[in-house]
Chain A
Amino acid sequence: MSDVSLDTRAMTGAPTGPGDGARRGSAGRGASARRPGRRIGRGHWLVHLLLATGAIVMVFPFIWQTLTAFKTFQDSVQVPPVVIPDPWVFTNFAEVFDSMPFGQMFLNSVLLTVGRTVGQVVLCTMAGYAFARIPFPGRNVVFVLFLSVLMVPSQLYLLPQYEIIQALGWLNTLQALIVPGIFSAFGTFLMRQFFMSMPAELEEAARIDGANPWQTFWRIMVPLAKPGIVALTVFTVLWSWNDLLWPLVVTTDPEKMPLSVGLSQLVGLHGTDYPVLMAGALLATLPMLVTFMILQRQFIQGIAFSGTKG
């Protein structure tokens, strides 16, 4: 509240506070033209120092991971540590491919991610649109049911989900990894929020022209909903590629595992042979990292969007 009054006072320049406040106010305004240049020079030096220190903490583990992936095992256990690999070896990567069907796991991860993402984007966009724009009896009740799914932790449905997959004979199949993941209360909610924020006039026009709801949705709303769809896509891609618990319980055959489970297998096989583990971890994370570097803006906006609207 006090902020608002502060604001108005500045806008109108009315000396509502004690006389001293108003005097200082006008003095400050006069000085503000000169101030920025000097302040940036001095203040930003400290800001950069702090931010750069933090950035090193954020990035160092990845640099160390990459360096280790190219070290010999002997180099990796040296005390004091060998920083730059000497010699650079590529055998760790070969070792990863020798000890597990890494190529197949990579493919499984890609299929899992694409399958879940396409399914979720299509289904959640449709459902979100209907919740926002198509009135039907009992809509709020159904919507609250959807929201209740959001509330419960995944552990609560994990066991019966597993039993359903087992009963369907889907253990160690791609559909076990994909199918439960294409239905999302979160995604539906996110898209509903997005459609709610769009002006209704757009659809009025389409409806007057005789378009049915599907045509209105597909031709008018989906193209306009791109930012929401991008956010949902980013969120789903990240979640799918990195998911561990569900793939861990439904796959036991290495040929059917995605990379996240593969990495946990690699630990069992190589224990503390860190160069091999790091080579595996690097191979498993690199695709997402490269995608992120290319689509930075979409990733960051997508997470900010799903983080604030979700």
Chain B
Amino acid sequence: MTDLIAQRTAAPISELDRGRPQAAPGRPGRPRRRSPGQSAWWALLFIGPTALGLLAFYLWPTVRTLIMSFTKSGPFGGSEFVGLENYTRLLQDPELLGALRNSAVYTVIALVGIPIAVAIAALLNTAGLRGRSVYRTLYFIPVVTMPAAIALVWRMIYNGDYGVLNEMLAVFGIDGRSWLTDPSTALVAIAVVGIWAGLGTNIVIFLAGLQGIPDTIMEAADLDGAGPIRKFFSITIPLLSPSIFFVSVISVIGALQVFDLVYMMLGANNPAMPNTRTIVYLFYEAGFIDNERGYAAAIAFLLLLIILALTVIQFRLQKKWVHYE
């Protein structure tokens, strides 16, 4: 995420630096600027509260977690330094392998949501379409709904005994199943809800990107006799690729951190849990249920490494397919 942001802000930062020499006092012909020392005090006033809060509640805790990952808490509350023990134990934990696989599967399925969102955004962007804002509102409703509530609703829909999904499938002669307790379907079922819940946000982002494509380009393609399909793949997709890239980076990060849906849709005693437990759920279990803080801290750091690695890979790959104007 920071890479993404750094990339997006690289230009503004240097632009600002250019403004600095002007701030030198006593420049003739211009109103006197505040001295650098004076503006530093003002900056402290403006930034200080947030900086302190971030330091106390975010930066320092992150460092603490790193330290914690090298310790083990004793039975009476103290903790002792154990070196890399948590990490070696983690790498040998069979549950980790399962959690990594589950998170990977979840992330891959979550990415399917991107082409769906692009397609819907493209349909919504049809020139002269009536009722566009009505559709947009309907697709957006899950975005404003509490994930905890969404999870409950889908639990009911997925229910194996009287869930409405099975009843609908029965109409087409398809045998349903208990989607959320069946180890072979639970993870997919949750990922589908994840896609459904995030669709509205992605559609809105893509729609903003599509509306930024100049009409003249599309008109030019019309003149050249390009059909709608050809236009979509040769013009719309390449010009939308920065948005697609952005959404895919965010989606991967979000999918790797999924917790609410797993927690609310399955429950601890679900027989499908070994096939559904994601990395963050593993972290939650270790840190807050088993009370193994050091071990949980090691899991959190592994998660950070995975996120960083995947983000770097995505940025490497972007050169191959993302077109910046």
Contact = CB atoms under 8 A, between A and B. Distances in A.
Interface of A: 3, 6-7, 9-11, 17, 21, 24-25, 28-29, 32, 36, 40, 43-44, 47-48, 50-52, 54-55, 57-59, 61-62, 64-65, 68, 76-81, 123-124, 126-127, 129-132, 134-137, 139-140, 142-161, 163-164, 179-180, 182-185, 188-189, 193, 196, 200, 207-208, 212-214, 217, 238, 241-242, 244-245, 249, 259-261, 263-264, 267, 272, 274, 277-278, 280-282, 284-285, 288-289, 291-293, 296, 299-300, 303-304, 307-308, 310
Contacts of A182: 53
A25 B284 CA distance: 62
Interface residues of B, number: 124
Nearest to A129: B46
Contact of B54 (A183, A208, A277, A304): A183
A60 B45 CA distance: 50
Contacts of B39: 134-136, 213
Contacts of B238: 3
Contact of B205 (A145, A217, A299, A308): A308
A153 B46 contact: no
Given A58-B196, A137-B40, A157-B57, A267 B6 contact: no
B47 A131 contact: yes
B146 A193 contact: no
Contacts of A259: 146
State the majority secondary structure of interface residues on B.
Answer: helix
B62 A157 contact: yes
Nearest to A65: B153
Interface of B: 1-2, 5-6, 9, 12-13, 16-17, 19-20, 23, 31, 34, 36, 39-40, 42-47, 49-51, 53-54, 56-62, 64-65, 68, 120, 123-124, 126-131, 133, 135-150, 152-154, 156-157, 159, 161-162, 164, 167, 170, 196, 199-201, 204-205, 207-209, 214, 216-217, 219-225, 228, 235, 238-239, 243, 246, 250, 253, 256-257, 259-260, 263-264, 267, 280, 283-284, 287-288, 293, 296-297, 299-301, 303-304, 307-308
B146 A285 contact: yes
User: A interface, by DSSP: helix, strand, loop or mixed?
Assistant: helix
